[in-house]
Amino acid sequence: MEIHYWNRKVETADPSERAQSRLADLRATIDRALGTDFYARRLGEAGISSGDDIKSLDDLKRIPYTTKDDLRSAYPYGLLAVELDDVVRVHVSSGTTGVPTVIYHSAEDIDNWTELAARSVTATGADRRDVFQNMMTYGLFTGGLGLHYGAERVGMMVIPSSSGNTQRQIKLLRDFRTTVLHATPSYLLHLHARLAEGGVTPKDLALTKAFVGAEPHSENTRLKLEAMFEIDVYNSYGLSEMNGPGVAFECVYKNGMHVWEDAYIMEVIDEKTGRPVAEGEEGELVFTTLKRRATPLLRYRTRDLSFVYDSPCRCGRTHRRIGRIKGRTDDMLIINGVNIYPSQIEEAIMQLPEIGNNYQIVVEKSGALDRLTVKAEVHAGIFSDDARDMNALRRKVIENLRSSIVITPVVEFHEAGFLPVQEGKAQRVFDMREEDTA
């Protein structure tokens, strides 16, 4: 396998060498953070008044965690660490509660983010000869602009098509011979259905790769996308609080995502106790920015669940890899006392070739008990209005789910295109229980 690096020296550096610069960067980050109202108070309470109070990377433990609620409470300027004049961009996320969070970027921040994005896309083998169609939403969401700059820096021709308008996307794809796509996995599934309707097959296109992220998806969904488009699909992880895309990316081996550890300190903690989990165990990811100027964040709790691979990667990068995001600590469903992550349901249904591109998970009260309904689209040609024709498939879905989540769901099948498609992140889970009891 041919390995390409954007920044070979940094990407393959010995971790012990990196430790020195990480400590220096951490100290500088703390000094910058102390310039914000929020961290001046928070770090003060922890007895930290200067970066020099941190003697080793291990002293990171002395710093309290930062949460999404902290970010909300600091809105709008409580976490701004540079002069407003030095800010060149903000990304604001409204979140589900409506109280926004804001991340400011200085010119240097954008430059550093661009470097991480450039490294990320290069790790997949993409290069300046590629035509990159960026179907992630441009705007306050970081998915569009984040990789846009990285791809430009690498020298690709970028088509900033943003999300939606599928017919136009298809026209661009064909007319410009797009080779690399960037989209949410749910949107790619939708795109494929529209292509197929128009009689377009992978042979009519020049695609070789897609980068997918911004929402949870299973390995089966990746395999499905790879087969549908006859391309390689790479997982990309990031969050606005840590810039956006370009935090962790798969390399050509597609076996976990490399976290750029010169730019972030990663920890994995037990979500309940806040203590580090044992090496390689699953837990909540926590990140500290090492390079950020305008909004430094210390020990930010992502609520994302993953684990760290302990083996080195064959690609030669020395930045550790995390596994596919299993879900978020806040998306766990407790159904009749059983803890279930939506990703387990996706994994179980997407194994079946009959199942189409879209599904929903609905949880309701049924008397004293919870009822789980899985609504899944099935491929054209398989769907029948007569429920009896669908019984064999229904049994397969139930068996798969029962063996993975120990629960027997109600299964509803729908024709392809029946369930609504979202342009951005797909909403799959509808928990109606609170409404039911209200």
Residues that bind ligand DLL (CB under 6 A): 93, 136, 141-143, 213-216, 235-240, 244-245, 302, 304, 325, 328
Shortest spacing between CB 258 and ligand DLL, in angstroms: 13
Our CB check for ligand DLL shows the closer of 63 and 239 to be: 239
Shortest spacing between CB 425 and ligand DLL, in angstroms: 7
* Closest-CA residue to 419 (of 191, 165, 217, 190): 190
Our CB check for ligand DLL shows the closer of 93 and 358 to be: 93
Shortest spacing between CB 215 and ligand DLL, in angstroms: 5
Our CB check for ligand DLL shows the closer of 25 and 346 to be: 346
Our CB check for ligand DLL shows the closer of 113 and 237 to be: 237
Our CB check for ligand DLL shows the closer of 190 and 371 to be: 190
Q: Are 269 and 277 in contact (CB under 8 A)?
A: yes
Our CB check for ligand DLL shows the closer of 112 and 142 to be: 142
Our CB check for ligand DLL shows the closer of 91 and 375 to be: 91
Shortest spacing between CB 135 and ligand DLL, in angstroms: 10
Shortest spacing between CB 202 and ligand DLL, in angstroms: 23
- At 432, list the tokens: 């109606």
Shortest spacing between CB 54 and ligand DLL, in angstroms: 26
Shortest spacing between CB 380 and ligand DLL, in angstroms: 29
Our CB check for ligand DLL shows the closer of 358 and 390 to be: 358
Residue nearest to ligand DLL (CB): 213
Full 3-state SS string of the chain? CCCCCCCHHHHHCCHHHHHHHHHHHHHHHHHHHCCCHHHHHHHHHCCCCCHHHCCCHHHHHHCCCECHHHHHHCCCCCCCCCCHHHEEEEEEECCCCCCCEEEEEEHHHHHHHHHHHHHHHHHCCCCCCCEEEECCCCCCCHHHHHHHHHHHHHCCEEECCCCCCHHHHHHHHHHCCCCEEEECHHHHHHHHHHHHHCCCCHHHCCCCEEEEECCCCCHHHHHHHHHHHCCEEEEEECCHHHCCCCCEEECCCCCCEEECCCCEEEEEECCCCCCECCCCCCEEEEEEECCCCCCCCCCEEEEEEECECCCCCCCCCCCCEECCCCEECCCCEEECCEEECHHHHHHHHHCCCCEEEEEEEEEEEECCEEEEEEEEEECCCCCCCCHHHHHHHHHHHHHHHHHHHCCCCEEEEEECCCCCCCCCCCCCEEECHHHHHC
Region for 237 from its dihedrals, namely left if φ exceeds 0, alpha if ψ lies in -120 to 50, beta otherwise: beta
Our CB check for ligand DLL shows the closer of 51 and 238 to be: 238
Shortest spacing between CB 192 and ligand DLL, in angstroms: 19
